Chain A
């Protein structure tokens, strides 16, 4: 398939996954804020830190403020990662690959665009309770993922989409865990208190992991939560599961002609081995933050390698110029 098109499929899926994650973060965080002391705004700052855009926020708005943060993460056109920006980007990409996707997929992506437009017109961020809006965005993204899976042929393009989706998802799970863990753990005295339980539950809910975690471990426990979100092989949002699924798609795309690995194969394979040969005790004793930071860097390297191997027309021409 055209490299430009593969690139757009990859990014359309990444942006949709990001939009869904952000929409869920907002819903979960809003719920969390209801059970905190009214004066405390702090739970909104870590949310922005999770997304990696705290500096941008601070330079535009200064102090953390609920309404500003909801605007910044949901609707700010100057924040390239806001839900609005993600959905605009997803739609631009969907337009560029219109012949590759079905009418059903296009109409949903397009519908999300108009939903966001409507949200902007109605100033959702200023509403007393914006949860309904973000819940609808999240559900539309999930619906879209379902329609995508049930209407698109399992050809190369579909696998590039999956690759984008899982790399994005792994990145988001690692960031949620990283930030929340650091915010929560220092308060050793609070471990096991009701507030603490609420907070840890919200970490799980941020990545839709609460129910499946409860089923497996029963009790809320920071170490088990880390184990579940990083290493669980069966939960579809754990870093391990995302990397495994991404690898399956990449293997299908690459096809391993003559056993020659491309850069993307190498980087993703190394990341998977890295996860395969570590466990939660080791990670916690050597430093969770460092470990997750390293995972994020590795994920980024995979993404760069995918670009170099499949999307960069310059590289492709270099490899295929007839003399």
Chain B
């Protein structure tokens, strides 16, 4: 049987994470290469099937339609890991630490004194016009004045070997269960690859998550829960997984009741008070009395209990304001303003359509740009200029002109590529990187991330809703 080889592997015109332009293997991939080249194709394909089965068995599925006749799909886990050197990671960690610290100060300021607006670092209209800016949060101060407890920043590596932050994801970032379970599955199916590579462990995440939640309340042994929209939500597996790993209750809005501005769970033995909620329900839906009146996912009175300080919500409502894609453009300035430091992690050049000259540039160059809706996520509401038709471009120009505040544009960035198993061959596929940052009394980042991979040849869209898969991400010790 043929042994695996990288002969003919194409690195042209892309930054490849494993090989340099001359097909020389990068040092942190050397040992991995030796190991995998001892293996034959048949075994590799067999192991790939074994990982598919393991995912089904674990129930790592999401519903495509929201009824029980719906199709359940797995997020394809490519068996070839993505490896990051210790040095790269340490820089990334430092950069994330800086960025999240500044973003948290920014959110606290926006709902507090608004110094950043008074000092004209960022135009006030940009904030007040943001769909994610919640007036209801003005004047609030969550415990430790921490707002963004869990962040899942989307990072990419460009042709210049530098990491960029693409999106900050400060609301309810998902995918961390895949980071954790991908590792478990790979350890089981592919143990021989791990030997002597010194992969940093990620399994403490749930432990840190619980610690973080407990650090936000003075109550000893607080009662904590994960709030889920329910079993038909596409991230339900993750909600259940995290609740289980933390030993927390998994609750739905209908399991809760608010009395005298305290939050209680409805149990077989009467009402039981809750102290901290990791809510995986968006701001709009947490409380029909304050936000979306038609929401069935929340609990009436929850926001008032939060306002009174009787319940801790993770993340705090209102963090989305720093997640607005137009605000994103100002983050280097925000870091400078609050910390007096240059941003360690780069931002992607961003054109704000609300600025007339920038809008004109976007319209003139739309075929080369990626246009994004400022309040959307998940790969929806975007146009990838180079891959779009004239009609699609014209339609976006119309949309931009009608509501310039709702759009930004960025140059198309060539995401780095990683060797990926594809129909009995190994080819480069584009990837991004989503590390998870926990912020309570202190900041904690487990050395790992979710790597999302665009499975279609040449595709730059890694979102699971658009045909993306995932990879286990190995951060090496050195």
Contact = CB atoms under 8 A, between A and B. Distances in A.
A200 interface: no
B268 A3 contact: yes
Interface string A106-139: 1100110010000000000000000000000000
B268 A95 contact: no
A253 B269 CA distance: 9
A317 B250 contact: no
A245 to B, nearest CB: 19
Contacts of A310: 268
Contacts of B252: 4
A251 B266 CA distance: 21
Given A2-B249, A4-B254, A92-B68, A320 B231 contact: no
A111 B57 contact: yes
Interface stretch (B255-263, B310-318, B367-375, B407-415): B255-263
Contacts of A99: 240, 243-244, 248-250
Given A2-B251, A110-B59, A322-B260, A98 B240 contact: yes
Contacts of B248: 99
A95 B57 contact: no
A98 B259 contact: no
Interface residues of B, number: 28
Given A4-B252, A4-B254, A111-B57, A95 B270 contact: no
Given A107-B58, A110-B59, A320-B271, A98 B266 contact: no
B259 A95 contact: no
Given A106-B59, A114-B56, A322-B259, A3 B244 contact: no
Interface string B41-74: 0000000000000001111000000001000000
Most B-side CB within 10 Å, residue of A3, A88, A106: A3
A66 B250 CA distance: 44
A2 B68 contact: no
Contacts of B269: 1, 156
A322 B261 CA distance: 11
Interface residues of A, number: 29
B236 interface: yes
Contacts of B59: 95, 98, 106, 110
Contacts of A322: 259-260
Interface string A147-173: 000000000100010000000000000
Contacts of B266: 2-4, 313, 316-317
Contacts, number: 71
Interface string B219-250: 00000000000010000100011011000111
A322 to B, nearest CB: 5
Most A-side CB within 10 Å, residue of B58, B241, B244: B244
B175 to A, nearest CB: 18
B204 interface: no
B267 interface: yes
B461 interface: no
A321 interface: yes
22 contacts: A1-B269, A2-B255, A2-B265, A2-B267, A3-B267, A4-B252, A88-B68, A98-B241, A98-B250, A99-B240, A99-B244, A99-B248, A99-B249, A110-B56, A310-B268, A313-B254, A313-B255, A313-B266, A316-B266, A316-B267, A317-B266, A322-B259
Interface of A: 1-4, 6, 88, 92, 95-96, 98-99, 103, 106-107, 110-111, 114, 156, 160, 253, 310-311, 313, 316-317, 319-322
Given A95-B240, A107-B58, 5 more contacts: A2-B249, A2-B255, A92-B231, A95-B236, A114-B56
